[in-house]
Amino acid sequence: MQNENRSENFSRRHLITFDDWTLEEIESVLELAGELKRIRYAGELVETLKQKTLFMIFFEQSTRTRNSMEAAMTQLGGHAHDLTADKMQISHGESPMDTAKVLSRMGEGIAIRNCFYDIGNKYLNEIAKFSDIPVISMQDDIYHPLQAIADLMTIREKFGRNLDGLKVVISWAYATTHAKPLSVPQSQILLFPRYGMDVVVAHPEEFPLQQNIIEKARSNASKHGGKISFVNSMEDALEDADVIIPKNWGGFAYFDEFDDSREMHEQMKANLEMHRDWILDAKKFSLAKRDCRIMHALPADRNHEITDALLDSENSIIYDEAENRLHTAKSILSLLMK
């Protein structure tokens, strides 16, 4: 496997968002991910991280992220510590600086999931500031780079490397499980236009994305030949779509200043209930191209965000997308922790 020269460019590099990485660097991730996927399918072993340690700190639950990262470390010959705040002195107020400096003496990588709004990204950056080893965001309140890169890999597998003009619809959808972070759609709108895609974001007025992220996404589109637009109707967005991603996110950005109050949460819930009709069903999906692909980061709120019939249809590529979380994780860890 020819990744020796690649790894030299990523020494002690952090991954908080791919918006800080060049297209050439992102291409290195995708190329190595494809190579590692082929190697795994061939039944061969690659132990580039033998006896290396990744500390994974989870402030929230996880299925795909935790298992893809831990499986990646195992398959690369290393080990991942599955940690939660209650297992660490974080729960007693240990500072990010002390956590970062101690873990830097003991392993080769730190990965963190902290999605608390107006907290998570700041915490990751504070850890990164004091860490001597790579810090990887496993999702925060603003970004989810691991999901976005797996999505991009999946889209390229289905549509080829030239994605110019590919219409990708990222649509808010109704969900009852919880107020999901903004990080998945925000990472997608930052990354996809850099590859020439025509991204259309649909959402009710009460569920916008963060304005600074929108402005950066527009800049990315202008610089790289992609497009990005916003509409307040799922139906208006879906016409002739090549890819549709129906995904709930909370209404955090609707409030000018984040107010973690009971009144704010009650208003967000009331706003949510006004838009029960934001579900991807057969009628809406008929507006897209016949071979339109359905993607979802999972877990999906079935029959709220999208019907079972569509999610389990031949148009759905959600499990290909989930599998690619493993291959892209292996690529990123190989490059950053080598």
Q: Which amino acid makes up residue 28?
A: S
Residue 14 has pLDDT above 70, yes or no: yes
Q: What is the rounded distance in angstroms from the CA atom of residue 183 to the CA atom of residue 180? A: 9
pLDDT at position 4 is 47
Q: Which of 133-142, 227-236, 263-272, 294-303 has the lowest mean pLDDT?
A: 263-272
Q: Which one has a higher pLDDT value, 266 or 27?
A: 27
The per-residue pLDDT for 261 is 74
Nearest to 333 by CA among 46, 87, 72, 4: 72
**Is the predicted pLDDT of residue 251 greater than 60, yes or no?**
yes
pLDDT per position as a tens digit, 215-224: 999 999 999 9
Examine the pLDDT at 113 and tell me if it is beyond 80. Answer: yes
pLDDT (0 to 100) of residue 255: 81
Same fold, 4-144+322-337 and 147-319: yes
pLDDT at residue 135 in the model: 98
Q: Please write the tens of the pLDDT for every residue from 183-195.
A: 999 999 999 999 9
Q: Is the CA virtual torsion 114, 34, 189, 237 positive or negative?
A: negative
| Residue 1 pLDDT level (bands cut at 50, 70, 90) | low
Q: Is the pLDDT of residue 246 over 50?
A: yes
Domain 147-319: which topology? Rossmann fold (3.40.50)
**CATH homologous superfamily for the domain 4-144+322-337:** Aspartate/ornithine carbamoyltransferase (3.40.50.1370)
Torsion sign (Cα): 215, 16, 11, 41: negative
Q: pLDDT-based confidence at 65, cuts 50/70/90?
A: very high
Integer Cα distance of 129 and 248 in angstroms: 32
Parse the chain into domains and list their residue ranges: 4-144+322-337, 147-319
